[in-house]
A and B are shown apart, each in its own frame.
Chain A
Amino acid sequence: MDKPFAITLNPGSSLANHTGSWRTSRPVYVDRLPPCNAACPAGENIQGWLFHAESGDYEKAWRVLVENNPMPAIMGRVCYHPCETGCNRQHLDDAVGINSVERFLGDEAIKRGWKFDKPGRSSGKRVLVVGAGPSGLSAAYHLARLGHAVEIHEAGPLAGGMMRFGIPKYRLPREVLDAEVGRILELGVVLRLDTKVDNIAESMKAGKFDAAFLAVGAHIGKRAYIPAGDATKIIDAVSVLRSMEGEEKPLLGRRVVIYGGGNTAIDVARTAKRLGASESIIVYRRTREKMPAHDFEVEEALQEGVMMKWLSTIKQAGEGNITIEKMVLDDKGFPQSTGEFETLEADSVVLALGQDVDLSLLEGVPGLEINDGVVQVGDNMMTGSDGIFAGGDMVPSERTVTVGVGHGKKASYHIDAWLRGETYVAPPKAEIAGFERLNTWYYSEAPHTMRPMLNIIRRQSTFDEVLGGLDETNAQFEARRCLSCGNCFECDNCYGVCPDNAVIKLGPGKRFEFNYDYCKGCGMCVAECPCGAIKTVEEEI
């Protein structure tokens, strides 16, 4: 070969030198579980739907959302958003307003008339859902999507359960509820109203159902013994809230005392204020810190002029007044009597002391186990009776709409498997993407977007919705605050920072791949990945 002076070799490329052999550990792409997803009782893929909202593809975002939860507009109003409590962004500035973006997507879906995808092949199986509350509706939706014929038997005159008869309108406008329930029914779910199931075994037999999901809720108000004269009006909170949906509004008088410290007590107190009560007073035996009600609800009630009597119990109710006793907390945090009494004027006393489950439909069903007034279920949400599953407030749980929705989903997966004679095994959960996994240098400073609040006068006199929604611009801003914890969002950092060009970019939506022929294992991609989606694995040497 003809070469210049002193040159004996042809020019070559360094690609011949496979520097991957230097490596003692290798980077591997992973999808970790974002803390928001981990905290969601309904098992939503929050990071997954925010990803699409970030690019403005709201329909795609909504479709990813409803894979797990069919009622985003309702969730965006009534969910206590444990996702935001878990959000890693709170360690930077404020948690991402996941709930407000969810509401935006839900409202957008109603506005634009987006429909669920039609169910796949029919399974030929029939499932009875008892109760059209959040849990029953969620189960009906998932079962219908899995191809089963679903019939809901609801004792009440309208669907929604506690979402209609427990949550006041100022928190959940009924047209939103109707729209999201209607969309579930459009999947072919049959809803029978005013159909109380008195005996589950008979109802299943009569309707030729292969399985049943019970979600009757807990709507019997607990009573407490209060010595009272005949003229005293003592009613329970559930009845008050339920009658708000009827023609005749409850007559509570000008001075209303509510007994209890949960969210229901707050709902009644705020409702009473809106009905024209001059005084709406919550009497609770422990302190504000110990109140089971959520802090923001207590705060909103106080803003609206609801008064609170902490460390007090009602001893006696007379005509137009009640006697309360002051309490102190002992070392263990339990309230103890002090012997100090006080008289409060009261036209009515509303008891908000919790709710019991109406279990009469289960009489005579073999194998059922009932403890503390709730039905016991296994990990698969099945009761002791084969083919009868249960969820929502009637099983041991934290009684929230979101938990109910989660139960509905979980139960439907198990029902689906059970109907096929199989056992549903949930996919293994990925490791949580904690804050320490993130490289937060890369995120812009961006504070939380506040939702508009209705003015105080209208909050005290009308049932208009208190908390406003976001519009498209600020909903997108809020979505873009998501750190995408544990899941690649294609920021190109790994592709950029590799000194050895050992990261292959596969193109939009396809993420990246390592070229282990040249990766020296320096770990720079792992260190500079903003969201913790790359991990280091030791090489076997």
Chain B
Amino acid sequence: MPLQPVKFYQTGTFTVGNRLLAPEERSVQANMQRTNSLNSGHRACQGCGEALGARYAIDAAMNASNRQLIAANATGCLEVFSTPYPETSWQIPWIHSLFGNTAAVATGIAAAIKIKKQKGQGGDVRVVAQGGDGGTTDIGFGCLSGMFERNDDVLYICYDNGGYMNTGVQRSSATPAAARTATTMPLGPEPGNPFGQGKFVPAIAMAHEIPYVATATVADLRDLEHKITKAMGMRGARYIHILVPCPLGWGTASQDTIHLARLAKETGIFPVFGAEYGELKTALAIRRQLPVEDYLRPQKRFAHLFGKSPAVATIARIQALADKNIRKYGLLDREGSR
């Protein structure tokens, strides 16, 4: 195993908290006074990665903005499970309009705040827009790209679970290759979601050369909080894409949500990196590299790859995608990490 000096505790920064750290070095989630932006009683499934990711992200954003934050939310699981009329789980100012216009709503809020500030009304309130991969990569993509190119002062957070989960697991443009969904059934010569389709929005965001683009997963809290905090310290359009496993849509056990996010990162299938003004700056290095099979096998959406005769060629194609990420983002290069 590679050596890592134990600075303060046997767990380093891998755990959420660390009783031996100075309070200012501890994570937001370890704090007894964290906002709990997304409160108990929400109707997300057991082990929901998105509910977890949203609390991680918004609590960190609240912490970084001195609790002066407004969130605009796209339609999707997050909106549906958190706000069944007349209840809300949100403990922050929060607005939902339509499926596809979240980035535009956030732009409008940011503009209003700017004018109010010019008129000497209200303080420095920050704006976050958030949605799932459907509301971000498909339906809200036009508004999102517009927000990017105008460099509006909004942090857009996408919680990517790879499909339209609350409507019955349909394919989105973020659904991974070979995955089974209700609309990409495991039938025919190339079962599941076709290879060569879909898009990786973090790369598209980078192409807009906005101030900050980053990816994260719910498996590495300290990295996620660091990126949110960094983004909140900047102005202009920022984009953070968080991988949030979905027990329902992926066909995984509810307790394995974090484990799967970790496997996605450790196999290289989901690259975790940070970029500024279109340039790749940091990559979270793989700690213990694993073959993609370890990530695919526990998921029922890939079960058709592991039947009586395993789809070796398909698995190899997925491995090739992971290998490409590792090369492209330098995921095995320990120098470049955090």
**With an 8 A cutoff between CB atoms, is B280 at the interface?**
no
Given A495-B30, A496-B29, are A522 and B255 also a contact pair (CB < 8 Å)? yes
Chain A residues positioned under 8 Å from B262 (CB to CB): 441
Given A446-B6, A496-B30, are A515 and B87 also a contact pair (CB < 8 Å)? no
B217 to chain A minimum Cβ distance, whole angstroms, is 13
Q: Is the Cβ of B258 less than 8 Å from the Cβ of A445?
A: no
**With an 8 A cutoff between CB atoms, is A245 at the interface?**
no
**With an 8 A cutoff between CB atoms, is A16 at the interface?**
yes
B42 to chain A minimum Cβ distance, whole angstroms, is 5
**With an 8 A cutoff between CB atoms, is B113 at the interface?**
no
B9 to chain A minimum Cβ distance, whole angstroms, is 6
Q: Is the Cβ of A501 less than 8 Å from the Cβ of B16?
A: no
Query: Which residue in chain A gives the minimum CB-CB distance to B89?
Result: A14
Interface residues of A in 472-531 (CB under 8 A from B): 477, 480-484, 489-493, 495-502, 505, 507-508, 515, 517-518, 520-524, 526-528, 530
Judged by DSSP, the binding face of B is loop
Given A12-B87, A16-B41, are A491 and B16 also a contact pair (CB < 8 Å)? yes
Chain A residues positioned under 8 Å from B256 (CB to CB): 527
**With an 8 A cutoff between CB atoms, is B11 at the interface?**
yes
Q: Is the Cβ of B10 less than 8 Å from the Cβ of A444?
A: yes
Given A11-B88, A496-B29, A527-B259, are A443 and B41 also a contact pair (CB < 8 Å)? no
Query: Which residue in chain A gives the minimum CB-CB distance to B52?
Result: A499
Chain B residues positioned under 8 Å from A528 (CB to CB): 258-259
Contact among A444, A482, A495, A520 with B4 in the assembled complex (CB-CB below 8 Å): A444
What mask results when residues 289 to 324 of chain B are scored 1 for a CB within 8 Å of chain A, else 0? 000000000000000000000000000000000000
A470 to chain B minimum Cβ distance, whole angstroms, is 14
**With an 8 A cutoff between CB atoms, is B63 at the interface?**
no
Chain B residues positioned under 8 Å from A194 (CB to CB): none
Given A12-B86, A492-B29, A507-B32, are A18 and B41 also a contact pair (CB < 8 Å)? yes
Q: Is the Cβ of B1 less than 8 Å from the Cβ of A13?
A: no
B91 to chain A minimum Cβ distance, whole angstroms, is 9
Chain B residues positioned under 8 Å from A444 (CB to CB): 4, 6, 10-12, 14
Given A482-B10, A490-B19, A495-B17, are A15 and B40 also a contact pair (CB < 8 Å)? yes
**With an 8 A cutoff between CB atoms, is A303 at the interface?**
no
**With an 8 A cutoff between CB atoms, is A55 at the interface?**
yes
Contact among A19, A445, A507 with B3 in the assembled complex (CB-CB below 8 Å): A445
Query: Which residue in chain B gives the minimum CB-CB distance to A507?
Result: B32
Query: Which residue in chain B gives the minimum CB-CB distance to A527?
Result: B255
A198 to chain B minimum Cβ distance, whole angstroms, is 55
- Per the CB 8 Å criterion, the residue count for chain B at the interface is 53
Q: Is the Cβ of A19 less than 8 Å from the Cβ of B1?
A: no
**With an 8 A cutoff between CB atoms, is A93 at the interface?**
yes
Q: Is the Cβ of A501 less than 8 Å from the Cβ of B39?
A: yes
Q: Is the Cβ of A12 less than 8 Å from the Cβ of B55?
A: no
A489 to chain B minimum Cβ distance, whole angstroms, is 7
Given A12-B88, A54-B20, A490-B19, are A17 and B47 also a contact pair (CB < 8 Å)? no
Chain A residues positioned under 8 Å from B46 (CB to CB): 22, 520-523
Q: Is the Cβ of B39 less than 8 Å from the Cβ of A493?
A: no
Give A9 to B85 CA distance when docked, in angstroms: 8
Q: Is the Cβ of B258 less than 8 Å from the Cβ of A524?
A: yes
What mask results when residues 31 to 52 of chain B are scored 1 for a CB within 8 Å of chain A, else 0? 0100010111111101111011
Q: Is the Cβ of A443 less than 8 Å from the Cβ of B11?
A: yes
**With an 8 A cutoff between CB atoms, is A447 at the interface?**
yes
Chain B residues positioned under 8 Å from A360 (CB to CB): none
Chain A residues positioned under 8 Å from B6 (CB to CB): 444, 446, 477, 480-481
Q: Is the Cβ of A499 less than 8 Å from the Cβ of B44?
A: yes
Give A16 to B83 CA distance when docked, in angstroms: 12
**With an 8 A cutoff between CB atoms, is B61 at the interface?**
no
Q: Is the Cβ of A19 less than 8 Å from the Cβ of B15?
A: no
Chain A residues positioned under 8 Å from B43 (CB to CB): 14, 17, 19
Contact among A490, A495, A522 with B254 in the assembled complex (CB-CB below 8 Å): A522
A537 to chain B minimum Cβ distance, whole angstroms, is 14
Query: Which residue in chain A gives the minimum CB-CB distance to B255?
Result: A523
A496 to chain B minimum Cβ distance, whole angstroms, is 3
Contact among B14, B42, B55, B254 with A14 in the assembled complex (CB-CB below 8 Å): B42
Q: Is the Cβ of B14 less than 8 Å from the Cβ of A442?
A: yes
Q: Is the Cβ of A493 less than 8 Å from the Cβ of B10?
A: no
Q: Is the Cβ of A11 less than 8 Å from the Cβ of B86?
A: yes
Q: Is the Cβ of B16 less than 8 Å from the Cβ of A497?
A: yes
* 17 A-B interface contacts by CB (under 8 A): A13-B41, A14-B41, A19-B40, A54-B10, A442-B11, A480-B20, A483-B10, A492-B15, A492-B16, A495-B30, A496-B15, A496-B221, A499-B48, A499-B257, A507-B32, A515-B40, A523-B253
7 closest Cβ pairs, A-B complex: A492-B17, A496-B16, A523-B255, A14-B41, A522-B47, A522-B46, A491-B15
Residues of B near any A CB (own CB < 8 A):
1-6, 8-12, 14-20, 27, 29-30, 32, 36, 38-44, 46-49, 51-52, 55, 82, 85-89, 221, 247, 253-259, 262
Given A19-B42, A54-B10, A521-B46, 7 other A-B residues pairs in contact with their CB atoms under 8 A: A17-B87, A480-B20, A491-B16, A492-B29, A493-B15, A497-B16, A505-B32
Residues of A near any B CB (own CB < 8 A):
9-19, 22, 54-55, 92-93, 441-447, 477, 480-484, 489-493, 495-502, 505, 507-508, 515, 517-518, 520-524, 526-528, 530
